[in-house]
Structures are given as structure tokens and as C-alpha cells.
Amino acid sequence: MMTLQQAIGQEKIAGHKAFIPYIMAGDGGLETIKPTILTLQQLGVTAIEVGIPFTDPVADGPTIERAGERALAAGVTLKKVLQALASFRDEITVPLVVMTYFNPVLAYGLDAFAQACVAGGVKGIIVPDVPLEESKILREALNPYNIDVVQLVSLTSPPERIARIATASQGFVYAVTVNGITGERTNFATNLEHHFARLCQVSPIPVMAGFGISTPEQVKRMGELGDGVIVGSAIVTALHEGEMARVEALIEASKGVYAKSTL
């Protein structure tokens, strides 16, 4: 299986933008994890961000929070998700990125968590409540297993901090496109082009845009700013409602040769 950076690079060679859908693991029960991942990879996604339900999801908007509540009600835990991934590891062909909060990882045990990630085909993790200054503990535990620690960059980060985060991030830089939590948006900040240009200039690894992207038009528009997009709430809603055509349209919007952004 390719690394995150290799998978994103392969899309670039093909003239496409990378597309990473976010799913809430176990929304609908643990038994939904396998068919959801296998369907998404068949549709041509670059990687898959696997969200772990948590009782206090500070970075998540109402759509993902409700999905997490449904998963928690179904008895879904971090350990059960990783065990489910390991059960069909040989069928997974795209890199997986686990998005979780630090408490479940700490309770699991860092080394045990790392080993379980390897068994489940996980190539990266996102832990939004661990800032750059405290992320060394994650890199020390996960890097020996070739698992990337992805860092988030906000719109309000000053230039010197943007450079530090971009240098420290692994796999890709997660560039947040809105000020606030996840969720579908109709409007974005007017300075995005400048922000992304500066970020891409200092980043040695791919830059992915995420938060608020929910339509094919937004996938194209935001994809032009960097190396690709991450779509969360719109995917979670479409999966919950059984509307796979909406998922396919979002993925398809990332395909094709891209010109310079005119945002």
C-alpha cells in the first residue's frame, strides 16, 4: 500500500486533485465500516479519513457530531474500529487516516495503538486537540511504524507558525478553509488564495484543503488552491441517507487537469 504522500503524488501525475472523504466509523453500526471503505476506494478516492466517535468532539460541527453520537450509541470504540479494519486489511488498497482525539489514544496506550493501526492499514493520524508544540509524543510513538502525524493549519496562523507546522507535518498539511468547526458552508474567506499560496510555498509536502467543502463546485474551486480536498459533512450526510450518487459527484469533481486558481 502507498503512503499518503505517494497516493497524493500519483493523483498529481495523472492531472487530478487528491480527494479524501471523511467517514464516521460505525455510523450505522460496525458492520458498515467494511462496505463503506471498499465502495469508496472502488469509486477512486485517494485516501480515506476514518473518524472515531468521541464524546467531546471540539473540532466537529453538528453533522459529524450527530454521526458520532449514532456510532457511540451502537457501541463503537477506537479499539473496535481498528479491529474491524484489521479484519479486511488485505482488501484495503488506499491509505487510511484515523481522525481521533488524544484521550482515546492515551487510554489505548500509544504503542498498542500504533501496532493496531499497522494491522488495520492505517498510514496516518489526525489528532486536532494535540497542537504542534505537544505533537512530539505522537511522532515518537508512530513514526517507527511508518505512520504519519498530520498537522492542521488554521487561517489565523501567523506566517512563522505556518512554516513551522508545514515543516513538522507528515503525509500532507491539512489546511483549514474556515474559521470554526466542520460543516457545510456557502461562503469562504476572501483571502484563501493568498493564504494557500503562502502555505504551498513553504510546505515540503502536499497541501489539502478541508472544512466546509460540500459541493462539486467547491471541490473544484478549493482543489485548485493546493493538492486536493477533504470532504467530511457532505459525505457523512450522503452515506447516512444512502445517496451514493452525491458521493460519486463529489469524487468526480476532483478529476481532470487543473489550471491556476482564479478564486
157 is a domain residue: yes
In-domain check, residue 207: yes
Q: 148-193, pLDDT tens digit by residue?
A: 999 999 998 899 999 999 999 999 999 998 765 555 555 666 678 8
Q: Write down the residue that cell numbers 466517535 correspond to.
A: 53
> Over the chain, what is the mean pLDDT?
92
Taking the C-alpha atoms of residue 98 and residue 49, their distance in angstroms, rounded to an integer, is 6
40, 48 contact by CB (below 8 A): yes
Placement of cell 517507527 in the chain: 144
The answer on pLDDT for 58 being more than 90 is: no
Annotated active-site residue in 11, 27, 60, 148: 60
pLDDT tens digits, residue range 197-219? Answer: 999 999 999 999 999 899 999 99
- Measured in degrees and rounded to the nearest 5, phi and psi for residue 244 equal -65, -25
Phi first, then psi, for residue 207 (nearest 5°) are: -115, 120
Which residues, in sequence order, are CB contacts of 179 under 8 Å at separation 6+? Answer: 154, 155, 156, 189
Q: Find the catalytic residue in 27, 49, 148, 227.
A: 49
- Name the CA dihedral angle for 149, 121, 51, 193, rounded to a multiple of 10 degrees: 50
Most confident among 40-44, 187-191, 217-221, 258-262 (mean pLDDT): 40-44
Closest listed residue to residue 97, CA positions, set 122, 116, 117: 122
Read off the CATH number of the domain in which 94 is found: 3.20.20.70
Residue 260: pLDDT over 50: no
Give percent above pLDDT 90 in the chain.
Answer: 84
Average pLDDT over residues 71-77: 96
- Give me the mean pLDDT over the 232-239 stretch: 95
Check: CB of residue 215 under 8 Å from CB of residue 222.
Answer: no
Compute CA distances 12 → 82, 93, 228, 257, 262, whole Å: 30, 18, 9, 9, 19
Q: Which tens digit of pLDDT belongs to each residue from 238-248? A: 999 999 999 99
Length of the chain: 263
Rounded (5°) CA angle 46-49-53:
165
If you search the block for the grid coordinates 498529481, which residue do you land on? 12
Q: pTM for this one?
A: 0.93
Domain assignment of residue 52, given as a range: 4-252
Is 72 within the bounds of a domain? yes
Q: Which residue has the higher pLDDT, 58 or 42?
A: 42
Does a structural domain hold residue 261? Answer: no
Rounded alpha-carbon distances, angstroms, from residue 20 to 24, 37, 43, 52, 144: 13, 12, 12, 16, 24
Is-catalytic flag, 49?
Answer: yes
What average pLDDT does this structure show over 68-72?
Answer: 96
Q: Is the pLDDT of residue 263 over 50?
A: no
In-domain check, residue 10: yes
C-alpha to C-alpha distances, 194 to 12, 18, 150, 167, 226, nearest whole angstrom: 21, 21, 22, 19, 11
260: in domain: no
Write the pLDDT tens digit of every residue in 120-135.
Answer: 999 999 999 999 999 9
Round to whole Å and give the CA distance between 218 and 123: 27
Instruction: Give the separation between CA 185 and CA 251, rounded to whole angstroms.
Output: 18
Dump pLDDT digits (tens) for 88-104.
Answer: 999 999 999 999 999 99
Residue 261: per-residue pLDDT: 40
Tell me what pLDDT residue 21 has: 98
129 is catalytic: no
Where residue 258 falls among pLDDT bands split at 50, 70, 90?
low
193 within some domain:
yes
Domain count, the chain: 1
Asked if the structure places residue 262 within a domain, the reply is no
Q: What is the model's pLDDT at position 186? A: 55
- Whether the pLDDT of residue 257 is over 80: the answer is no
